[in-house]
Structure 1
Amino acid sequence: MQRLLFLWAWGLAAIAINANADRANADEPLRWQSSRIKGTPDPPLPYRLERIFADADLKGPTEMVRLPETNRWVVVQQNGTVVTFDKSDPSNLHTAMEGKTFGKPLSRSYGITFDPDFPRTPECYLAYTSLLKTADGTRVSRFRVTDTNLMTIDPASETVLATWNSEGHSGGSLHFGADGYLYVSVGDGQDPNPPDRLDTGQDLSDFEASILRIDVRGHSPEQPYRIPKDNPFVGVPGVRGEIWAFGLRNPWKMSFNPKDNSLWTGDVGWEMREMVYKIERGANYGWSQTEGSQVVKSDGYRSDIPITPPTVEHDHTEARSITGGYFWQSDRISALKDAYIYGDWMTGKIWALKYADGKVTWQAEIADSTLQIICFASDDDGEILTIGYDGTIHRLIPNLDESAAAAFPRRLSDTGLFTKTEDQTPAVGVIPYSINAHHWSDHTDSQQWIGIVSNEKISTFDKSDWQTGQVAGFFSFPHNTVLAKTVTYLADTSDPASQRRLETQVLHRNHDDWNAYNYIWNDDQTDAILQDNVAVTRELTIADPSQPSGHRTQTWLHASRDQCSLCHIWSASTVHGFKLDQLNRTYADESENQLDKLKRIGLLDEISADVGVCANPYDHLASIEDRARTYLDLNCAHCHRRGGGGTAPFELVRNVDLDQLNLVNAMPTQGTFNIPDARVVASGDPSRSVLLYRMAKAGRGHMPQFGPTLVDDAGIQIVHDWIASLDADVPAQPYDDTISQLIHSPVDDDTTDRINSLLQSVPSALALSVACADRDMPASLREQIAAKASKDTLPEVRDLFERFLPAHLRIVRLGDHVIENELLSIPGDIARGRDLYFNQSGITCKQCHRISDPGPAVGPDLNNIGGTRTPLEVLQSILDPSAKIEEKYRGYIALTTDGQVISGLKQSETKDAVYLIDAQGKSHELLQDEIEDLKPLEKSLMPDRLLADLTAQQAADLLAFLTSQKSPN
């Protein structure tokens, strides 16, 4: 019935597009004249950028610094050419060095700095890549400066100081510290995927992924510099003594704080996080074990030095490629005095932070721009300039314009999209369009429109897609273009007239940005109200004859603007539906192709790309491979692509050859869920495929991670059938016969035995859960299986059958959003809490703590925890175990001379030995002369997220049991 409604809606769309087209003059493109969607509804940021030195004709700058004791700027361009210009005459560029003057073609340049005694010591230092994809292709070199006023560099004077891998992520920021030593930032030297393929991030035997500190005033027999004696790793066997700090992916632009000489850098993240670090001597910043707070390669090589967390961290909803900056010292904007100014290459955002007494005391976004921010520059007066990769230079000025936010339409009826909002009648120039395939959205349907204000057309261009290695047709949209989509559902699945609107989603092209907004429909279905930047859920009750109770309930998420940006991301071209292969279709009652029609009415420019047609995943006439690949692309590829945010090292983009995706028979990197010999996609064997399991399960680990709240049974079947169609490397497990017997045999004693056998392992349970969604399975059998799976099974098994349970029997887990007061208000049962503590799988408190047990304990004894701490204090210690660590329970990590790494509590220490007890309660005696290094841990040995997979009642029960532990007076 929903499919009939869908076709009916697109029939109306065809009528509307014709009606709009008839209103257009033959010589004029059809344009939306009534738009009121301009600017943004958010209050302005405190500052904006103003262009300066507009006459300076720069080509791909990567660094800009002052030429000491002059009035000139020095600019390094990516092609290796170094130019300078005077502040008073920016149009008169002087070439200090041509990149092509090197013996080998110079591929890229990154940074430059001058001897601290310049111009008396007329030398500069340059970081550049001479040859890509070589083990020593990136280098830091010293050059003689022959003209210290205009600046001219003698390329023949080069002395190469250090080299490293040039496959990618070069770093290349150079600064002299107050100590007179040269600091060099070095990236991991590799392409983005797979992350840190060479495992260099935690490897101290090479330069990569590090900050180097060298003394260029002298030389040694081994190299043209000296290693400072107080560098942290001097004399350590197998470790480069030049390393000052390590574990950095791509430290892009660093600087010193002039107030305290501390070193700061931005570090470009991988898929989830962007980081800013205050660099400390000998510190480990985690890559590629972690990407900031995000775990990347938990089972990879890891240094024994504890990981230092970021000073500031941004997730990929607001930053995609961080650019480090400088500390503002100018009096021109007093509010920014002593603030560290930094930005983002991808989003153009600029932030500021202030730091004191070992912590960030203030941090905020201060400006937004359309720039690809390549670097910042510090002027002699302490003002920080912003440099775009387009060659433009800018300064910060106060932003006084508040009119846009006040005028932004707060009701859908005020946007100008519709002449009659309650009927969704589009205004002149607002054009309905339809697409070939929709992503899964919890049984909802949708209708789309587009409106263009200016006389420009939507044009296509061939973009070399670095995420896929392909060249494909992309759209370029004019400023103030709006795409709108109204999402609807059926309140009664058997009645098309019960259609109700949930929300109208709006994508607005604001100059170079795309902004996402949600208008939530009122109960009367007459209008929709603009949602603030907060997520809101709505409970829907839907009449459904297929359910035993005759109805079902589901939760609809009205996403916040930040959540919308998680899917509508630059790497996936932001606009998902309005694409060539999606629009390439003909309406049912017409002969004209939609792309031809959009060109005829003046919306689209000429199309030169090979368009193709996007397969509908639910169309059984299409091949199973096309259906599955399209399904995964529509629902998963916005994250699972390069730059998309998914931490697993595979991609799901449909127009890339399967063998290039690191998907089939690839090892999972984020958990196997008790699946033996698990693969991301096990060729020919769905039951060993973690991708399919994550689609089917409930709770932690379900994919997609955000968006839909319901499992798509039809989608699971599509992906299951595709995996089964792949050539099998090993024979698949024969679960089908047992499942077929279960479905088609009469209910008897064997029925229970078959169910029990299938629920004993995750692979067989996964196969059974797919079968439970099949209409051939009797409803009573499905209920019996779900009821059995909800009891006495592995949590990984139960999660597969959660969706088949009645709503009141499903688990509502706490996740990461625990509201302390709400949890403390729930009465807990001590007996149930005791059972959870001692018997519940996944609750590991008893491994480290003791209650009524005289054995050794890693953590504090809990026999009197209720007598010494309040319930709130107990709860807070569980939620954030690292917030306050008693010194006697601080963990230590030891590295022995034979390479063992042992962590645990220090029980005692003598002049001869150190005694540690690990998390399993095992004691270790480490002789002092066998200990190479022993360091305290800043993070608690107690793991995070201990309550995430519990229900609120379970957490309350556990808390009641713990707080009941009181020793008698």
Structure 2
Amino acid sequence: MQRCLLLLICLTVTACGGGSGSGSGGTVGLSERPANSECLAFDATAEVQLTPIAASLSFNSPLLMLPHPSQPGIFYVVEQGGLIHRLDLNTETRSQLVNLATDYSLSECNECGLLGMAFDPEFGSNGFVYLSFTENTNGMTSFVARFESTDEGQSLRRDGIGNLVRSNLVQQRQPFSNHNGGHIAFGPDNLLFVGLGDGGDANDPGNRAQSLSTRLGKMLRFNPDGTPASNEVSGSVPEIYAYGLRNPWRWSFDRDTGELWAGDVGQRQFEEINRISLGGNYGWRCYEGYERTSNSCGASPSGPFIEPVHAYGRSDGISVTGGYVYRGNNMPALRGAYLFSDFGSGTLWALERQPDDSYQRRTLLETGRNVASFAQDRDGELYLVTFSGLFRIDPVNVDVELPQTLSETGCVQADAPWQPADGLIPYRPIEPFWSDGADKIRYMALPDGTRITLDESGDFQFPRGSVLVKNFTLAQRLIETRLYLHNADGSWSGYSYQWNEAGTDAELVNGGRDVDVGGQIWHYPSAGECTQCHTAAAGFTLGLETAQLNSSFTYPQTGRTANQLDTLAGIGVLSAPPTPAQRSRRLSRSTDDTAAIDARARSYLHSNCSHCHRPGGTTQSSMDLRITTPLNATGVCGEPPSNGNLGRDGARLVAPGDAANSLLHLRMVADDANRMPPISTLQVDTRGAQLVADWINQLPGCN
């Protein structure tokens, strides 16, 4: 144990090299690239794999993919901005069905735009195509409109003056910009189902989901011409099929049984999977998951409410994406299971029915991707629609067992697991992520013969098989080691190992865990929590970018101090040296009192917040907290909140000169579920919060 402590103290001291670190071609910290054939991604817990489809094509915020009603291999990919692609998987080519944004003023917000598409059951004879979207008409309005195709889905018909032939079937004014739902589909009864959220803001302030006089917070059912079907929900407007929903995001019918399964997005505690039936009340805003909320319930305080089939908390994800009951043939072990995911964590799960009619969940794959939707082809095989591409879900052909102890992973010395394996390369970001006051020592491990590429923004793109290793210490005691693996299918997955009291080895943590460590509760994250922070939008790896590593570092192997970018380029780890533009970007340490407060605060927000708060990120907010984004373009300065104000009327995300009314700061110091970051940390970073408050208080304005 003494040897462990001495080593950690030594590494902590030598890892704190100073200097500007902005040189190029100077001293190299390592003599050569270490060989590594042991510390490699083992991709161990996956039961399925993702096979890219149409990999040569790119899509901008795709939200939906659905097959042509009769033509094999033809799919339609719906983009949130209004564009619908007609995709031929046989040739991996595409054409444009329509771009609604050229015809209508579509709403622009994180939960607005083109949200749904469905083909009429008689499409072969009538050519009817149904689209669901939000439009800037008398404020923001949700529409379900019917269009026509006369060429088997290659285009939509226009009239003599070039306007799309459109019949509005559903028109619903939206009071807020979030919780629009928008998914549409025809059921086995050949009737049109429409899912709408509760209208937005926090806690459903109008209790709309429980009110039977509004369509908001409901599952609706119509005849194909838009007239209400015979739903017969007592006391309701006639189109209501079920109610008590917060924001149903993707739902589907079991092609064998006809049952309707839906994912309903939670607020701060639970995400739900519901089986929707006629007349059912699913609880919101009275219940979230299985638990009673603090909200009043108006005329229906006691229901009766239908409990979800399954609910999960924030350790597993932040925004459920409903999927399908699998009825294909390629994965027999999953037949009859309901597959679903989470937009934030990207975890792919299966819900399986047990002999006692309960459901048990198991993890199939940590995809590390923002899963926006599932798709089902004519044969019942399933696909994922993500912000980083389209994928088919296939069976895994290999079975590898996850090492249960750190000493077995190949990433440490087997007989002294507190020491890194010889093939690891240490590194240190300028501005580290807050981890409840823990000190961290970091390493990267690349398969022999591979290299890192740098994208335009300077993010590191690691080869498959790479592993990132991070040791956490509290009071110089080693408590956790995390491994982050770039798997063979291109996904990333994270695992935590908890060190024993003797400091001799660490055991794999299955799921999240809270442990008292010297009087402080330390949280070991689940694999799903890892992917919530390591977002696809941020390039998966955090802290590994040129702006973070453009600094000096003292390498324990040689005792030499050198610029980290120079060293990585010098030993052949980078496929090409950083460009002058990449070298010109460098973060500041938030604790460096000699640096400008703007640079320090923006560096802190970049490191701790921007992995989620950026374009394509996993939040419902449109904030962009990357340091390269000018303040007036971040979407925070002077902006009102879109999802709750913490009880402070008139508060802004950032109110220049007034941190006390700036939600960016107030969420950092909140002592409840409103606190940011929302996962994997239990301690407020008081120093970081004070820095952000000081920065806001001295801001003269938003320019």
TM-score (norm. length: structure 1)? 0.54
Picking from 16, 19, 31, the partner of 1:22 is 31
Task: Answer yes or no: is 1:351 the counterpart of 2:361.
Answer: no
Q: 1:367-516, aligned counterparts within 5 Å?
A: 369=367, 375-378=373-376, 383-388=380-385, 394=392, 396-397=394-395, 399=396, 401-402=398-399, 404-405=400-401, 408=403, 410-412=405-407, 415-416=410-411, 421=416, 424=419, 427-428=422-423, 430-441=424-435, 444-453=438-447, 455-462=449-456, 473-490=458-475, 499-511=476-488, 512-516=490-494
Task: Give the partner amino acid of 2:568.
Answer: L
Task: Give the partner amino acid of 1:507.
Answer: Y
Shift in CA distance, 600/131, structure 1 to aligned 2, threshold 3 Å? farther
1:38/1:480 contact within 8 Å kept: yes
Which residue of the partner structure matches residue 918 of structure 1? none
Which residue of the partner structure matches residue 140 of structure 1? 144
Shift in CA distance, 572/309, structure 1 to aligned 2, threshold 3 Å? farther
Q: Unpaired segments of 5 or more residues in structure 2?
A: 1-7, 107-112, 160-164
Which residue of the partner structure matches residue 599 of structure 1? 569
Partners of 1:72 and 1:563 lie apart in 2 by 36
Which residue of the partner structure matches residue 125 of structure 1? 129
Shift in CA distance, 669/226, structure 1 to aligned 2, threshold 3 Å? closer
**Deviation digits for residues 853-892 of structure 1 (CA, Å, limit 9, x no counterpart):** xxxxxxxxxxxxxxxxxxxxxxxxxxxxxxxxxxxxxxxx
Picking from 160, 165, 168, the partner of 1:160 is 168
2:451/2:573 contact within 8 Å kept: yes
Task: Answer yes or no: is 1:617 the counterpart of 2:612.
Answer: no
Other structure's SS at 2:30 match: helix
Task: Give the partner amino acid of 2:98.
Answer: G
Partners of 1:391 and 1:693 lie apart in 2 by 36
Q: 1:73-472, aligned counterparts within 5 Å?
A: 75-78=76-79, 80-81=83-84, 83=86, 90-91=90-91, 98-99=97-98, 104=103, 111-117=116-122, 119=124, 121-129=125-133, 135=139, 139-144=143-148, 146=150, 154-156=157-159, 158-163=166-171, 171-186=181-196, 209-216=217-224, 225-228=226-229, 230-232=231-233, 241-246=238-243, 248=245, 250-257=247-254, 261-268=258-265, 273-283=270-280, 285=282, 292=289, 298=295, 309-319=307-317, 321-329=319-327, 336-344=334-342, 349-353=347-351, 360-366=358-364, 369=367, 375-378=373-376, 383-388=380-385, 394=392, 396-397=394-395, 399=396, 401-402=398-399, 404-405=400-401, 408=403, 410-412=405-407, 415-416=410-411, 421=416, 424=419, 427-428=422-423, 430-441=424-435, 444-453=438-447, 455-462=449-456
Task: Give the partner amino acid of 2:131.
Answer: A
Shift in CA distance, 363/474, structure 1 to aligned 2, threshold 3 Å? same
Partners of 2:57 and 2:673 lie apart in 1 by 53
Picking from 33, 36, 45, the partner of 1:33 is 36
Partners of 2:184 and 2:290 lie apart in 1 by 27
1:140/1:160 contact within 8 Å kept: yes
Task: Answer yes or no: is 1:537 the counterpart of 2:511.
Answer: no
Which residue of the partner structure matches residue 803 of structure 1? none
Shift in CA distance, 343/639, structure 1 to aligned 2, threshold 3 Å? closer
**Deviation digits for residues 800-829 of structure 1 (CA, Å, limit 9, x no counterpart):** xxxxxxxxxxxxxxxxxxxxxxxxxxxxxx
Question: Shift of residue 99 of structure 1?
Answer: 1.3
2:404/2:507 contact within 8 Å kept: no
Task: Give the partner amino acid of 2:311.
Answer: E
Question: Shift of residue 214 of structure 1?
Answer: 1.8
Which residue of the partner structure matches residue 731 of structure 1? none
Question: Shift of residue 127 of structure 1?
Answer: 0.8
Which residue of the partner structure matches residue 636 of structure 2? 661
Shift in CA distance, 346/384, structure 1 to aligned 2, threshold 3 Å? farther
Partners of 2:674 and 2:94 lie apart in 1 by 57
Partners of 1:635 and 1:625 lie apart in 2 by 15
Partners of 2:151 and 2:664 lie apart in 1 by 62
Task: Answer yes or no: is 1:580 the counterpart of 2:546.
Answer: yes
**Deviation digits for residues 755-799 of structure 1 (CA, Å, limit 9, x no counterpart):** xxxxxxxxxxxxxxxxxxxxxxxxxxxxxxxxxxxxxxxxxxxxx
Shift in CA distance, 147/644, structure 1 to aligned 2, threshold 3 Å? closer
Which residue of the partner structure matches residue 817 of structure 1? none
Shift in CA distance, 58/41, structure 1 to aligned 2, threshold 3 Å? closer
2:97/2:154 contact within 8 Å kept: no
2:30/2:567 contact within 8 Å kept: no
1:436/1:585 contact within 8 Å kept: yes
Task: Give the partner amino acid of 2:401.
Answer: A
Which residue of the partner structure matches residue 824 of structure 1? none
Shift in CA distance, 592/523, structure 1 to aligned 2, threshold 3 Å? same
Other structure's SS at 1:479 match: coil
Question: Shift of residue 583 of structure 1?
Answer: 1.9
Task: Answer yes or no: is 1:64 the counterpart of 2:66.
Answer: yes
Partners of 1:81 and 1:676 lie apart in 2 by 40
Identity level (%): 26
Which residue of the partner structure matches residue 517 of structure 1? 495
Other structure's SS at 2:455 match: strand
Question: Shift of residue 586 of structure 1?
Answer: 3.0
Shift in CA distance, 253/650, structure 1 to aligned 2, threshold 3 Å? closer
Question: Shift of residue 364 of structure 1?
Answer: 3.1
Which residue of the partner structure matches residue 4 of structure 2? none
Task: Give the partner amino acid of 2:67.
Answer: V
2:128/2:147 contact within 8 Å kept: yes
Partners of 1:92 and 1:514 lie apart in 2 by 26
1:413/1:528 contact within 8 Å kept: no
Question: Shift of residue 34 of structure 1?
Answer: 3.1
**Deviation digits for residues 540-587 of structure 1 (CA, Å, limit 9, x no counterpart):** 4xxxxxxxxxxxx65655555455555545566543333333322235
Other structure's SS at 1:617 match: coil
Partners of 2:282 and 2:667 lie apart in 1 by 30
Partners of 1:168 and 1:426 lie apart in 2 by 48
Shift in CA distance, 538/270, structure 1 to aligned 2, threshold 3 Å? closer
1:102/1:155 contact within 8 Å kept: no
Partners of 1:139 and 1:579 lie apart in 2 by 43
Count of aligned pairs between the two proteins:
660
